[in-house]
Amino acid sequence: MALWSGRFTENVSEFTQRFGASLPVDKALYAQDIAGSKAHAHMLAKVGVISHEDADAIDSGLERVKNRIESGDFTFDINDEDIHMSVERALTADIGDAGARLHTGRSRNDQVATDTRLFAKKRAHDLMRANVALRHALVEQAEKHFDVILPGYTHMQHAQPVLFSHHMLAYVWMLTRDFERLAAAERAADASPLGAAALAGTTYPLDRQMTAAELGFSKVIPNSLDAVSDRDFLLDLDYACAVSCMHLSRLCEELVLWSTSEFGFIELSDSFSTGSSIMPQKKNPDFAELIRGKTGRVVGNLVSLLVTMKALPLAYNKDLQEDKYGVIDSAKTLEDCLQCAAGMIETMQIKPDNMMAQAKKGHLAATDVADYLAKKGLPFRHAHEVVGHLVLLCEQRDCNLDDLSLEDFKAASPLFEEDITSALNLESIVKARTTEGGTGNSVVRQQLDQAKTVLAND
Ligand code: ARG
C-alpha cells in the first residue's frame, strides 16, 4: 500500500505503479533526501512541533538508512514510487511513530524541489572541478609547445600562421566561460524551497531560515507556489552542460582531424585510441568521436526539459517528475567527457614539423606581404590586389611566395625591396601580431599568464 493510499479503495495496477514511479532515477538523490529530512526534523523539534526525542530517533534512523543504501544493504521497492517514500518507509519501519511524524508540515513537492536543488548544486560543483582539470591539461600543452606554429584556418582553408599555444588557449577561454556558466547554475540552485509544503505553506510554525541554513542554502525562496514549481535552476545546469559539451565536441573534432594522415598534427596516445577488428593498421580516435557524439544527447536533454516546462500551470504537476532524467544524465556525461578530454590532451603527441610543413603551404604570408606594401604607402586595397597577382603567379608556377625572386616581386610593385624576405618568414609573421589577444609570441605569453591566473582562482 502506498503511503498516500488512505482515500483509495483500489490499488493501482502493477503497470501504473511502475509507470508512475521515479525511483529508478531519483534514488540517485538519496543523500540529498536524507539531508533534507534531517534538517526538517531538527527544525520541527526546535519550533516544538515534534519532541527532541523524536528528532533524535529520526536523525539516527536516517543515518542507518543512509548506511544501508551505501553498503548495498537496502532493497529499493518500486512500490514506494520514489526515493522520498522509500526512505520514509524504511525509517518508519525502523523507528515507528517518530518516523511517521517526519512528514509533518512538509509535502513531497517541497521535498523533491529541495533534494533536486541540493543535487544540482553538488553536481555543478563537481563539474567545475573537472573543468579546471581539463584547463590545466590544455595550459600545460600550451606551455610545453609554446612556440610551435601551425596554419590557422578560416573556412577550413589555410589563412594565417598561428601559435599552437594560442590555439590551445582559445579552448581554455571557452572552458573558462563554461566554468562561469556552471557557477551561475550553482548559484541559481542555491535557494531553499523547503517549507513551501504542497504549494501554499503550512499552518505549522516552520522556520524556513533554519532549514535553509542547515542545508547550506544562502536564502529562502520567497513564494511557495514558485518554490515547488520552478525548475529554472535545472535548465541553467542543462544549458551549462550543453554549451560545455558543444565546446568539447569542437575540440574533439579538431583532434580527430589533426590525427588523420592528411593533417598528421598530433598522435593520440594508445590509451585513448582503439583498433579495428578487421583492419590491422587502424588506430581510431574513438574517444574523441564519442565525446562529439554524446554532445547530441546533452543538447537534447536541455530541449527536452524546456518542452516539459512550457505551458505547465502553477504549481506542482507530475510532469515535473520528468525533470531529473536529463539533468542527471547531462551532468554525468559532461563529467566523463571532461575527464576523457583531459586524458587525451595530456597524453597526445604533438608533431611540430608536420604543422610547420603545412603552414608553409597555401601562401599564409600573403596578408603580411600586402601589409608590407601598405606600410610603404600603397593603399591596402591596391596592395591586396598586387599580392593577389603574386599568389596567382605562384599557383601557375606551383610554388610558394618565398620561392619567387626579388625581380618577380619588383615586377609586381616597385615598392618591394630586399627586406621582403623577412615579411615572408612565418616566425616573424607570427611574432609581429602583437595586438592584444593576437598570436604574437609576446602577447600569447601575457595571455597564458592571464589564463593561469584565472585558473588558479577557479
Ligand atoms: N516523485 C515526485 C517527483 O519527482 C515527487 C513529488 C511527487 N508529488 C506529488 N504530489 N505526486 O516529482
The finding on whether 228 has its CB within 6 A of some atom of ligand 1 is no
CA–CA distance, 433 with 340 (Å, rounded to integer):
34
Helices (H) and strands (E) in the chain, counts: 20, 4
Q: What is the pLDDT of residue 422?
A: 83
Q: Do 83 and 33 touch, CB atoms closer than 8 A?
A: yes
The residue whose CA is least distant from atom 4 of ligand 1 is 321
Q: What is the pLDDT of residue 106?
A: 98
3 state DSSP class of 268: coil
Task: Tell me: pLDDT of 1 over 80.
Answer: no
Q: What is the pLDDT of residue 283?
A: 85
- Average pLDDT estimate for 399-417: 95
Looking at 1.10.275.10, 1.10.620.20, 3.90.850.10, 3.40.50.1980, the CATH number of the domain 14-104 comes to 1.10.275.10
Is pTM beyond 0.90? Reply is yes
- Average pLDDT estimate for 328-339: 98
CATH class entry, domain 109-204+218-357: mainly alpha
410 pLDDT tier (thresholds 50, 70, 90): very high
Active site residue 276: yes
| Residue whose cell numbers read 601559435 | 163
The finding on whether 103 has its CB within 6 A of some atom of ligand 1 is no
Q: What is the pLDDT of residue 8?
A: 85
- Contacts of residue 203, defined as CB under 8 A and 6 or more positions apart, other chains included, come to 105
The finding on whether 108 has its CB within 6 A of some atom of ligand 1 is yes
Which burial class, exposed, middle or buried, applies to 119 when counting CB atoms under 10 A from its CB (0-12, 13-18, 19+)? Answer: buried
Q: What is the pLDDT of residue 274?
A: 87
- Average pLDDT estimate for 124-130: 98
The residue whose CA is least distant from atom 11 of ligand 1 is 318
The pick from 82, 323, 328 for probing ligand 1's pocket by mutation, whose C-beta has the most ligand atoms within 8 angstroms, reads 82
Q: What is the pLDDT of residue 2?
A: 80
| Residue whose cell numbers read 578530454 | 341
Q: What is the pLDDT of residue 370?
A: 95
235 pLDDT tier (thresholds 50, 70, 90): very high
| Residue whose cell numbers read 493510499 | 5
The pick from 26, 112, 114 for probing ligand 1's pocket by mutation, whose C-beta has the most ligand atoms within 8 angstroms, reads 112
Distance 75 CA to ligand 1 centre (A): 21
The finding on whether 112 has its CB within 6 A of some atom of ligand 1 is yes
The finding on whether 320 has its CB within 6 A of some atom of ligand 1 is yes
Distance 457 CA to ligand 1 centre (A): 39
**Cα-flanking dihedrals φ and ψ of residue 267, to 5°?**
-130, 125
**Beta-bridge partners for 157:** 154
Task: Say how far residue 236 (Cα) sits from the centre of its chain.
Answer: 11
Q: Which atom of ligand 1 is nearest to the CA of 324?
A: 4
CA–CA distance, 162 with 414 (Å, rounded to integer):
30
Nearest to 426 by CA among 346, 326, 358, 333: 358
The finding on whether 316 has its CB within 6 A of some atom of ligand 1 is yes
Helices (H), 145-214: 164-189, 208-214
438 pLDDT tier (thresholds 50, 70, 90): very high
ipTM of the complex: 0.97
Distance 313 CA to ligand 1 centre (A): 16
The finding on whether 321 has its CB within 6 A of some atom of ligand 1 is yes
The finding on whether 114 has its CB within 6 A of some atom of ligand 1 is no
The string of pLDDT tens digits covering residues 173-209 is 999 999 999 999 999 999 999 999 999 999 999 999 9
Average of per-residue pLDDT values in the chain: 96
Given 276, 422, 428, 442, which residue is catalytic? 276
The string of pLDDT tens digits covering residues 66-93 is 999 999 999 999 999 999 999 999 999 9
- Average pLDDT estimate for 349-367: 95
Quote the strand ranges of 213-289, DSSP E.
266-267
CA–CA distance, 283 with 40 (Å, rounded to integer):
56
Cα torsion 135, 141, 142, 143: sign? positive
Q: Which atom of ligand 1 is nearest to the CA of 320?
A: 12
Distance 318 CA to ligand 1 centre (A): 6
CA–CA distance, 182 with 132 (Å, rounded to integer):
12
- Average pLDDT estimate for 52-78: 98
CB atoms within 10 A of CB 100: 14
Q: What is the pLDDT of residue 10?
A: 83
CATH class entry, domain 358-457: mainly alpha
Nearest to 37 by CA among 81, 102, 98: 102
In the chain, what are the domain boundaries?
14-104, 109-204+218-357, 358-457
- Average pLDDT estimate for 123-152: 98
Task: Tell me: pLDDT of 62 over 90.
Answer: yes
Distance 317 CA to ligand 1 centre (A): 8
Given 13, 155, 261, 271, which residue is catalytic? 155
The pick from 27, 87, 318 for probing ligand 1's pocket by mutation, whose C-beta has the most ligand atoms within 8 angstroms, reads 318
Q: Which atom of ligand 1 is nearest to the CA of 198?
A: 10
Active site residue 158: no
Percent of the chain clearing pLDDT 90 (strictly above): 94
